[in-house]
Amino acid sequence: MYIDEFVQYLQKERRMSKNTMEAYKRDVLGFISFQASRGTDNITESTSTDIVAYLHNLKSVGKSASTVNRKLASVRSYFNYLIRCGYISENPTAGIKTPKIQQKELEFLSIEEIDRLLDCPDTSLKGLRDKAILEVLYATGIKVSELIEVNVEDVNFRMGFITCAATTARARIVPLGRPARAALEQYYYDVRDLLLKDNKDEKALFVNYYGQRITRQGLWKMLREYGEKAGLEHKLTPNIIRNSFAVHMLQNGADLKSLQELMGHEDITATQVYLSATKNRIKDVYDRTHPRA
């Protein structure tokens, strides 16, 4: 079924992150399992009818449109790989349209809420580390997967920027603002070595109490706790901080192309979704301030 070869292709040719590769692998194995349950053991014999049946099955068990789209994209990439290697001549997913996704309202924090959030950590070792994490997330807009993967060597304190490991074709350099830089320096010079204990060879920038790279689960738990402490209305997630970064940049005059570069979007349409929030803000300001609104 060439799964291991496919994963190696995703890593070497597509330069995907570990989490993305694992998601693709799970999705493809899910389709292979579905085919096996229908008596098809040779995946290269799959047809477009099989793909449609698979998508209907996903919908019938309650999978969201976004999940179905992701799984279809994974399976499509897998069959494209099989074509590339000469195992099949046609992609059975060709011509199959992805389900329409209902646009959710963009969740982001106001500047006042961000200020409350950034003021939450105390001056303990954990608090100083968490302060640096929160400041970096908001200052750079990087994804949680990128933050976790940042190593010490990826940070240039003198110039004030972080290099995000390549999850696409190339890495990107993201500048740090002064508050984030100050919080990060305090964590690095005063806290990190104490958290490392005897694990001095750890390369990760952000580590936990075991001196190991902080995990996704640990970061989500930390954000949830600080969101509650800051009195935020909604449960705090990394994506809400990323959205806040983008919206606040646009509200303060950033151009769309620069924001696209900062956020690492391959397609500018992914960046354009943040324009709706700024347009709503402009309308709110107009309605509140214009005498004949």
DSSP secondary structure letter of residue 52: H
Radius of gyration of the chain (CA): 22
* C-alpha–C-alpha distance, residues 77 and 91, integer Å: 9
Question: Confidence band (pLDDT; 50, 70, 90) for 102?
Answer: low
Average pLDDT in the 89-101 region? 83
- Average pLDDT of the chain is 88
Flag whether pLDDT at 119 surpasses 70: yes
Looking at 24, 138, 242, 274, which residue is catalytic?
A: 242
Sign of CA dihedral 192, 193, 194, 200: positive
Looking at residue 274, the DSSP 8-state letter turns out to be T
Quote the pLDDT of residue 286: 47
Spot the catalytic one: 189, 209, 210, 286. 286
Read off the pLDDT band of 236 (50, 70, 90): very high
Residue 169 has pLDDT above 60, yes or no: no
| Averaged pLDDT, 126-154 | 94
- Band the pLDDT of 127: cuts 50, 70, 90: very high
Given pLDDT bands bounded at 50, 70 and 90, which one contains residue 33? very high
**Whole-number pLDDT of residue 103:** 60
- Greater confidence, 155 or 252? 155
Confirm if 15 and 168 have CB atoms less than 8 A apart: yes
| More confidently predicted of 273 and 236 | 236
Q: Pull the structure tokens for residue 12.
A: 């070497």
- pLDDT value at residue 292: 54
Q: What whole-number distance in Å separates Cα of residue 106 and Cα of residue 244?
A: 10
Close Cβ partners of 82 (under 8 Å, ≥ 6 residues apart): 2, 44, 88
- Residue 187 annotated among the catalytic residues of the structure: no
Mean pLDDT value across residues 2-17: 87
Confidence check: pLDDT of 276 > 80:
no
Domains (ranges, CATH) in the chain?
A: 3-84 (1.10.150.130), 112-236 (1.10.443.10)
Strands 155-156 and 161-164: antiparallel
Note if 242 is an active site residue: yes
The model's pTM is 0.65
pLDDT band at 69 (very low <50, low <70, confident <90, very high): confident
Q: Is the pLDDT higher at 234 or at 247?
A: 247
Lowest mean pLDDT among 57-71, 95-109, 271-285: 271-285
Q: Which backbone phi and psi does 213 adopt, to 5 degrees?
A: -55, 130
Q: Are 113 and 243 in contact (CB under 8 A)?
A: no
State the residue for tokens 């099949």: 88
Tell me the C-alpha distance between 195 and 129, whole Å.
10
When mean pLDDT is compared over 99-108, 219-228, 276-285, the highest value belongs to 219-228
Provide the 10 A C-beta neighbour count for residue 190.
Answer: 11
Please calculate the CA angle 60-66-68 and round it to the nearest 5 degrees: 45
Rounded-to-integer distance, Cα 29 and Cα 256, Å: 38
DSSP state of 123: S
> Average pLDDT for residues 111-117, to the nearest whole number?
95
